[in-house]
Amino acid sequence: MNAQLKATRPQDVKGPKEMDVALNTPVVHHRFSLKFSKLESALVLAQLRFLRAAFKYVPEGQNASVRKRQRVGSRLDDITKVIRRCDAFIVGDASRSDQHELEKGIL
């Protein structure tokens, strides 16, 4: 699955051109482990939930209801738990395969 892809259509290079990325940068596809996929999606979901709660709280600031303050605290606890699981994934696995090293770098 580490085959390089070639841009064959103009729309294939539209995004990189807009970002001023070198067009000869190799594109590599990887298959991620199920454990990594679950951790990554849990981390993104926890981040979105925390940000949503925080943005509902911010406009009111000190005048926000107790419930909104508790929700922000609860979401912060949730994201902390997911980050700890990600840390355990990074530190805990004894296998040092290239795939695992790549997944650790992304998390």
Q: What is the pLDDT of residue 95?
A: 63
- pLDDT confidence bin for 80, thresholds 50/70/90: very high
> What CA–CA distance (Å, rounded) separates 2 from 101?
15
Share of the chain above pLDDT 90, in %: 12
Give 64's DSSP letter: S
Residue 65's alpha-carbon distances to 44, 50, 74, 78, 79, in angstroms, are: 26, 17, 14, 20, 22
Work out the mean pLDDT of the chain and round it to a whole number. Answer: 79
Q: Which of 3-17, 37-51, 90-104 has the lowest mean pLDDT?
A: 3-17
